[in-house]
Structure 1
Amino acid sequence: MALSRITLENFRNHAATQLGETAHFNLLVGENGAGKTNILEALSLLGPGRGLRRASLADLPRRASSDAPPLPFAIGASLTEAGTVSARLGTYTEAGTPNRRLVRVNGAPATAGSLAEWMAMSWLTPAMDGLFTDSAGARRRFMDRMALAIAPDHARRVNALEAALRERGKLLENRSDPRWLDAVEAQAADHGAAVARTRAMLVARLADELSALPPEPFARPALSYLPGGPTDETALRAELARARPRDRAAGRALTGPQRDELQVKMASTGHPAAACSTGEQKAMLIAITLAHGTIAAAGRPSVLLLDEVAAHLDPVRRVELFNRLGAGKAQVWMTGTELAPFEAIAAQSAIWRVSGGGVERV
């Protein structure tokens, strides 16, 4: 078990919601718009980043009326390991600073990035179905979120790299002292090489996990990490210095980890994932999510959030999904409009019916 004693206050359409006595499988059942995905989003914010919807803070609080100011929201949960509470995690806003997200661990102030040190968080949502046809940036974000399972400081490195590249861009535009550029490029190369190493390590470990999976019923994807430039710190720093005239003209850095790509193909055919059918793409995405869940659950608590997954699978794939999730160590949260698709695991699940921003234990 990973999360228990979960509370939501003034978050989305939830005024005051509590979920206790959680289990390995946790099912949220209700009509569309009831608030099921809002609960998953709240749980995702107990990790680094902007959560599974990547929403702005202004969209998260509940409002007493359409013209009322946003209410401060709070999300909390106990982290439980082997039946013992090891930490109390919380994230919230305050009335005076609605655009500032605060974090506490065991009652003490903490950073959002530090949440990755306590727990690994993974998710799969319908919005991710277009990942393989989306931009390379979307796939880099996908890699970076998964990378937190093996390198909790990865988000800090990515943010530092982006900040260094922005500073470099300003210096290039203003034709500043080359010595300033040397210093900023040294920072970019340091963080960039660390980011590239972690992404490469992640893809290699995912590939190992995927190679052990049977090709059916979920299509097995073949993953490749395609670096956007040198991955060695010294070589990357030299390339940034060499490319100054080109990057000044382009208005951005044209080499480095900010140009990385995650290449995904169907292992059995070699076809690019973007050219595969919608069903094949969904199957490959589920396979990657399951492989990552195995990696994330190694050595620390792990939570897997699956939004509306079971209803879109045929019975064979649904049973196989439940079997794999049951054999894994990650705590699983799933949503659905009805309980029928979860019949095979209902007896071993904690189930809540969600309606109008409230929950009732089934």
Structure 2
Amino acid sequence: MSGLSVDVLKLSHFRSHKRAVAEFDGRPVAIYGPNGAGKTNILEAVSLLSPGRGLRRAAAEDMIRKQEALGWKISAEITSLHQFHEVETWMEPDKGRQLRIDGKAAPQVALGRIARVLWLVPSMDRLWIEGADGRRRFLDRMTMSFEPSHAEAVLTYEKAMRERNRLLKDMVRDAHWYSALETQMAQAGIAITANRDRAIAELQDAQDAAETAFPIADLVLTHAEDLAEDETTLRDQFAANRQRDMSAGRTLIGPHRSDLDATFRAKGVPASDCSTGEQKALLISLILANGRALARDFGAPPILLLDEVAAHLDAGRRAALYDEICALGAQAFMTGTGPELFEELQSRAQYIEITEDNGTSITTQKDLP
């Protein structure tokens, strides 16, 4: 069994799943069935066992099963470094999402100390050619896997920045209103950049040390403007930029403007100029590198959520991906339209078939197809 795994997953009125119960043994999990049957909903449920809004970034009320509109609940038993945890997260109509860990109410950031979860979904296929927001989220998800407190730093920074932006839009000029917020932004901002730099270094080391069928990506964290490397100077930069920010109605400098650049090392080509297949391979390479780095430093690879990943790979690279996941010892939840997409896994995986009946998903655990 992997050092980090979901052992039992229970869903109640979550999206298309009225009720579902599945037990796992730490092996990769192949989930197959027709489009629209509810496969990705399983992955989304697992993604909510980590901090944040999950792999779809959906509002909690959007996850309610429409037929009954009763709210939803996800329960899981998780093994993390030989410790067992019970996690429950749920949402009731007109109430926010709630969380209990081992029977006690907890903030979402506490999930980062239990479950490290990474994902690739089809919408990320354009990661290298669309806006920087998606690349920052991708990097921050990996960064949180190395340093769970990164989530708190990001939340602190974003909350202070929203307040500062409100002052800017209201054309408030009194410096006293800004000083405390800019101090918070500077403290959190320096931590954010340091955490991101560390994550990139970990990913580079893991790629360099690996024997892999996937291409190596050289990564660089870039900024819209030169940012200070200490809290005092960054705070002074925020203060000096107030007039320009006021004209724009928002904060124009800071780690929220950073970007992640990647280069296909073997070809020396920016990821944005690579083919669609090469861009996907680079993403997979980074996910695998993240897993290797965590297996070394945290003691276990992260839980991987790979939605429709097999459909974009030829048979040779698909087999290579499965081999690397199994060698890593990661519990990977993977979806596909049919069991033939996972035939290279054979008995190394568990299998779940998802079917649909009048808008309700039916989950059936299968023997080797």
Query: What band does the TM-score fall into relative to the shorter chain?
Result: over 0.9
- Verify: 1:74 aligned to 2:73, yes or no: yes
Give the Cα–Cα distance (whole angstroms) in 1 for the partners of residues 55 and 334 of structure 2.
14
Give the deviation of 1:299 after TM superposition.
2.3
Contact residue 7 and residue 19 of structure 1 kept, 8 A: yes
Partner SS state of residue 36, structure 2: coil
Contact residue 143 and residue 196 of structure 2 kept, 8 A: yes
Which residue is equivalent to 2:318? 318
Which residue is equivalent to 1:58? 61
Quick one: percent identity of the two aligned structures?
39
Which residue is equivalent to 1:186? 183
Partner SS state of residue 15, structure 1: strand
Judged with a 3 Å threshold, the aligned counterparts in structure 2 of structure 1 residues 277 and 96 are, in CA distance, closer, same or farther, namely: closer
Partner SS state of residue 345, structure 2: helix
Which residue is equivalent to 2:153? 157
Give the deviation of 1:296 after TM superposition.
3.5
Give the deviation of 1:301 after TM superposition.
6.5
Matches within 5 A, 1:272-291: 272-291=270-289
Which residue is equivalent to 2:252? 254
Give the counterpart of 1:23 among 18, 21, 26: 26
Number of aligned residue pairs: give it. 354
Q: How high is the TM-score relative to the length of structure 1?
A: 0.93
Which residue is equivalent to 2:364? 360
Contact residue 90 and residue 104 of structure 1 kept, 8 A: yes
Give the Cα–Cα distance (whole angstroms) in 1 for the partners of residues 344 and 213 of structure 2.
18
Partner SS state of residue 118, structure 2: strand
Structure 1: which 5+ runs fail to align?
A: none
- Residue 343 of structure 2 aligns with an amino acid whose one-letter code is E
Partner SS state of residue 206, structure 1: helix
1:4-38 alpha-carbon deviations (Å, 9 max, x no partner): 12101000110000001433111111111111111
- Verify: 1:219 aligned to 2:215, yes or no: yes
Contact residue 6 and residue 24 of structure 2 kept, 8 A: no
- Residue 271 of structure 2 aligns with an amino acid whose one-letter code is A
Partner SS state of residue 132, structure 1: coil
Which residue is equivalent to 2:306? 306
- Residue 10 of structure 1 aligns with an amino acid whose one-letter code is H
Partner SS state of residue 230, structure 1: coil
Give the deviation of 1:285 after TM superposition.
0.8
Partner SS state of residue 97, structure 2: strand
Contact residue 196 and residue 227 of structure 1 kept, 8 A: no
Partner SS state of residue 263, structure 2: strand
Give the Cα–Cα distance (whole angstroms) in 1 for the partners of residues 338 and 346 of structure 2.
12
Which residue is equivalent to 1:125? 121
Give the counterpart of 2:139 among 137, 143, 149: 143
Give the Cα–Cα distance (whole angstroms) in 1 for the partners of residues 192 and 146 of structure 2.
12
Give the counterpart of 1:238 among 218, 236, 239: 236
Give the Cα–Cα distance (whole angstroms) in 2 for the partners of residues 185 and 81 of structure 1.
37
Give the deviation of 1:81 after TM superposition.
4.7
Give the Cα–Cα distance (whole angstroms) in 2 for the partners of residues 250 and 312 of structure 1.
42
Partner SS state of residue 290, structure 2: helix
Judged with a 3 Å threshold, the aligned counterparts in structure 2 of structure 1 residues 21 and 264 are, in CA distance, closer, same or farther, namely: closer
Give the Cα–Cα distance (whole angstroms) in 2 for the partners of residues 237 and 209 of structure 1.
34
Give the Cα–Cα distance (whole angstroms) in 2 for the partners of residues 113 and 155 of structure 1.
6
- Residue 273 of structure 1 aligns with an amino acid whose one-letter code is A
Give the deviation of 1:220 after TM superposition.
1.7
Which residue is equivalent to 1:13? 16
1:268-301 alpha-carbon deviations (Å, 9 max, x no partner): 2221111111111011111011111223343256
- Residue 103 of structure 2 aligns with an amino acid whose one-letter code is G
Give the deviation of 1:261 after TM superposition.
0.7
Give the Cα–Cα distance (whole angstroms) in 2 for the partners of residues 323 and 188 of structure 1.
43
Structure 2: which 5+ runs fail to align?
A: none
- Verify: 1:110 aligned to 2:106, yes or no: yes
Q: How high is the TM-score relative to the length of structure 2?
A: 0.91
